[in-house]
Amino acid sequence: MATVTSATGTQTSTATSQSLASFSNNFDNFLTLLTSQLKNQDPLSPMNATEFTTQLVQFTGVEQMIQQNQNLTQLINLQTQGQVTNSLGYIGRTVEASGTSVQLAGGSATFNYNVAAGATQASITIKNASGQTVYTGTVPANSGARSFVWDGRSNAGVQQADGTYTYSVDARGPTNQPVTVTTKLSGTVASVESLNGNIQLHLSTGQIVPVGDVLSVRSAS
């Protein structure tokens, strides 16, 4: 079931409220002390009002800063809520994003990548969740969008368990010079989450994609 989660601004709002409450207590104590001193001052030697005035100005400045922080937090929360609302359109749709992880499911996984012009050869390295290399092999090196379908078997022919795998593609030119390769991941968005101001898309495959990494969006097939 599609869900939306937002955890942004809670800690900041709590800290601001605590600061404002602490300031109010200190200010009340200051006023109480000031009133007592004024009542009990020596009429023949009145207390210096300049110091009290300075402290009052300082307290007022602190109060204004706390209130400004509080207003800023509210604005940030409103902006984040708007971003989450806008991101709801991703739910149920298939996105393609920059990334190096792919889900092996049912003994099959598709690795998408894009090769810049000039490559004459390319190879792929696939690693499991523990970082161990389970497969290496050659892949198409033609420039443009390419894909490699893996049957989930290691170089030794052992079937690997379903789960998340990472990969890298190394492309080389005629003089063995490196050629730029962009790796991608894709999946259907199941939920949207706001975490510390960052919008993240949770895919049905279990992968998490920052919304800024999305390259394309299409209707779920």
Considering 34-48, 80-94, 145-159, the range whose residues carry the highest mean pLDDT is 145-159
To which residue do tokens 């779920």 refer? 220
pTM for the predicted model, two decimal places = 0.57
Candidate ranges 118-127, 193-202, 209-218; pick with highest mean pLDDT: 118-127
At 163, give phi and psi (nearest 5°): 155, -165
Among 143, 151, 153, 101, CA closest to 122: 143
Q: Which CATH class is domain 93-219?
A: mainly beta
User: Where do the domains of the chain lie?
Assistant: 3-90, 93-219
Q: What percent of the chain has pLDDT over 70?
A: 62
pLDDT of 142 reads 93
Residue 161 has pLDDT above 90, yes or no: yes
Tell me the mean pLDDT in the region 30-51: 66
More confident residue, 37 or 189: 189
| Span 87-120, pLDDT tens digits | 677 888 888 888 899 989 899 999 999 999 999 9
Mean pLDDT of the chain: 79
Q: What does the pLDDT average to over 189-210? A: 82
Residue 69 structure tokens: 């922080």
Name the region of 193 (left: φ>0; alpha: ψ -120 to 50; beta: rest): beta
- pLDDT of residue 4 exceeding 70: no
